[in-house]
Amino acid sequence: MLYPVFFAAVYLSHLTLLRLPYFWDEGGYYIPAAWDFFRTGTLIPVTTVTNAHPPLPSILLAGWWHLSGFVPSGTRTFICMVAAAALLAVFRLTRDLLGTAAAVATTLLTATYPIWYAQSTLAHADIFAAAFTLWGLSFYLQSATEPGAPRLDSETWVSTQRKISAAILFSLAALSKETAIITPLALAIWETFLYLRDRNLRSHLGWIAALLAPILPLAAWYAYHFHRTGFVFGNPEFLRYNATANLDAHRIALCLYHRFLHLTMHMNMFVPVISTAAVLLLPAVSTRARLPRPILNAIAVILFANWIAFSVLGGALLTRYLLPMYPLILLVCVAEWQRRLPRWEGLVALSFAAFLAGIWINPPYAFAPEDNLTYRDMIVLHQRAVALIEHKWPQATVLTAWPAYSELQRPELGYTRVPIKAFAIQNFTMGEIAKAAADPGDYDTALLFSTKWAPPPGRANLAQRNAPADARYFDFHEDVRPAEAAAILHGELVWQASTRGEWVAILRFPRIVNANLSLK
């Protein structure tokens, strides 16, 4: 009964974002993969590189497109539906553990946390995996405090239903994003530890089986992928970038540091986390609900496992990989506020205000645009630039980098009505611009843009001391500014625009072509 309310709230709060064309990894993989399945029924993408991501998001998106049509507004409406389902899981989980007031607070803070807010309309696999994971946790944590003594048959049946439901939901999460398997595997290991400690087979064996069950459908998908492509975990470059190239002790240490900040400080998460650390110094109010110790232990296991795993796996330090972790952190915070403060609603209001500010106000360090509404600024600027090229120079060959390379060549992404020829370079560093200048005959136009948001020169930058290591391990780099690029490439800067630190520019290159006729 609450779901329509949750959906309406998510939909209306994202109303101005629903018609935006596809962004970054949406256009790079998820939308093309779903588009291929929608048109041809193939689970292996054919118009983009296959990287072995499980197919459930493609199947769900394609099924929805049969109802809504293949338009960005239809896709984003569907993602709002998925985000609303995830928030409903947060509400159910918190209500069962702490009561309705705490559930309202935790759900509200989750919905307004900038990373969650931004991802609530973006068609990445992470929002699907988060929804299924949180629903699976709502069944698992509901049973975490059950005693091990024999129960009535009706109670045993209810417990079995919870295990089956959790196994199905965690399996769907793994079929949405392969890394979602981390959470049920961590809990299975935890249940095994509890069994070895308690020697109570009846209490733990069923959950161990349920939590290991998601391995089977995920293994079946990889077997199918290997049968069709010859690769288990995607193409070799994808595997190298996301796994084998990451096994460096220094890099893992840096990732642990970054991921810890992502979980506790990033996008104003420091407000509820530091507030919680402060209230722990206060005595508890005895009549207030508290999280049982088994629940806290399970949440700690989940957070620790994901913190470690995502410090090793993944070439990019994207915060959306941790999407289902943020509601758990907020749940713990709200639990302590409610338990130790008579007027705990004040900290909810303070955190809510901090999260609202973070949706629009950028932090004093570099971050991925998809962590707040900076992604909208980037999309709008790219829309304007591509529309200008399509109108004035439709026959141009455009020097640019990904994702603009796909935006120009794939009309289905929503930026252009017809494909525009493009010449790709890796990025807009000095080295790549110099390479392009050495071979000017391959393009006559250039579309340059900021690839990451960073504080403007002269402004505070808290991450500046980490710049050399971030550049070495995480592809952080400094983009050449438009005027400087125009001088190096011997072109003319014909148009540029910027919004809140994001910028885009178009260069044109007058070329002299030596044409001769020859008789053969």
Mean pLDDT across the chain: 90
| CB contact at 8 A, 289 and 102 | yes
In this structure, what is the dihedral angle of CA atoms 462, 368, 472, 266, given to the nearest 10 degrees?
40
Cα 296 to Cα 279, 280, 304, 383: the distances in Å are 17, 15, 12, 46
- Residue, of 121 and 200, whose pLDDT is higher: 121
Q: From CA 107, how far away is CA 328, in angstroms rounded?
A: 11
pLDDT (tens digit per residue) in 173-192: 999 999 999 999 999 999 99
Position 244 scores a pLDDT of 62
pLDDT given at position 149: 42
- Average pLDDT over every residue of 438-462: 85
Give pTM, 2 decimals.
0.93
- Check residue 69 and give its pLDDT: 94
Decide if pLDDT at 520 tops 50.
no
Write down the pLDDT at residue 514. 46
* 167: enclosing H helix or E strand: helix 153-176
Average confidence (pLDDT) over 72-96: 97
Contact between 212 and 184 under an 8 Å Cβ cutoff? The reply is yes
CB 399 within 8 Å of CB 456: no
Q: Is 230 left (phi over 0), alpha (psi -120 to 50) or beta?
A: left
Q: Do the beta carbons of residue 275 and residue 333 sit within 8 Å?
A: yes
pLDDT at 185: 98
Name which of 33, 37, 136 is nearest 85 in CA terms. Answer: 136
What's the rounded Cα separation, in Å, for the pair 228 and 361?
46
Predicted local distance difference test score (pLDDT) of residue 488: 94
- Rounded to an integer, what distance in angstroms lies between the CA atom of residue 224 and that of residue 124? 22
pLDDT of residue 469: 73
Could you read off the pLDDT of 237-273 as tens digits, one per residue?
A: 666 666 666 778 888 999 999 999 999 999 999 999 9
What average pLDDT score do residues 393-413 get? Answer: 94
Which pLDDT belongs to residue 153? 46
Q: What is the pLDDT of residue 240?
A: 66
Among residues 83, 56, 61, the alpha carbon closest in space to that of 74 is found at: 61
In this structure, of 138-152, 296-310, 321-335, the range with the lowest mean pLDDT score is 138-152
Which pLDDT belongs to residue 290?
A: 84
Instruction: Note the pLDDT of residue 284.
Output: 86
- Please state whether 458 falls in left (phi above 0), alpha (psi between -120 and 50) or beta: left
Question: What integer is the mean pLDDT of 455-473?
Answer: 74
Letter for the amino acid at 500? R
Which residue did the predictor score with more confidence, 52 or 352? 352
Name the percent of the chain lying above pLDDT 90: 73
Residue ranges in 363-519 assigned as alpha helix (H): 374-392, 404-409, 430-438, 467-474, 482-489
How would residue 19 be classed by pLDDT, with cut points 50, 70 and 90?
Answer: very high
Residue 148 has pLDDT above 90, yes or no: no
- β-bridge partners, 425: 401
Nearest to 380 by CA among 354, 407, 362: 407
Q: Which of 16-30, 149-163, 172-186, 237-251 has the lowest mean pLDDT?
A: 149-163
Render pLDDT for 280-301 as a digit per residue (tens, 0 to 9): 999 888 677 789 999 999 999 9
Q: What is the pLDDT of residue 151?
A: 46
Residue 327 has pLDDT above 70, yes or no: yes
Other residues' Cβ atoms within 10 Å of the Cβ of residue 185: 18
d(CA 306, CA 315): 15
d(Cα 486, Cα 493) in Å, to the nearest integer? Answer: 6
Residue 361 has pLDDT above 80, yes or no: yes
User: Helix crossing, 345-360 with 325-340: angle to 10°?
Assistant: 150
Q: What is the pairing mode between strands 421-425 and 397-401? A: parallel
Q: Tell me, what's the pLDDT at 438?
A: 87
Residue with tokens 């070439």: 315
Q: What confidence category does residue 459 fall into, taking pLDDT thresholds of 50, 70 and 90?
A: confident
Give the total residue count for the chain: 520
Fill in the amino acid letter for 434.
A
Neighbouring C-alpha atoms within 13 Å toward the C-beta of 508: 12
User: What's the confidence (pLDDT) of residue 243?
Assistant: 62
Grade residue 65 by pLDDT with cuts at 50, 70 and 90: very high
CA 68 to chain centre: 24
Task: Sheet containing 421-425: give its strands across.
Answer: 421-425, 397-401, 445-449, 502-508, 492-499
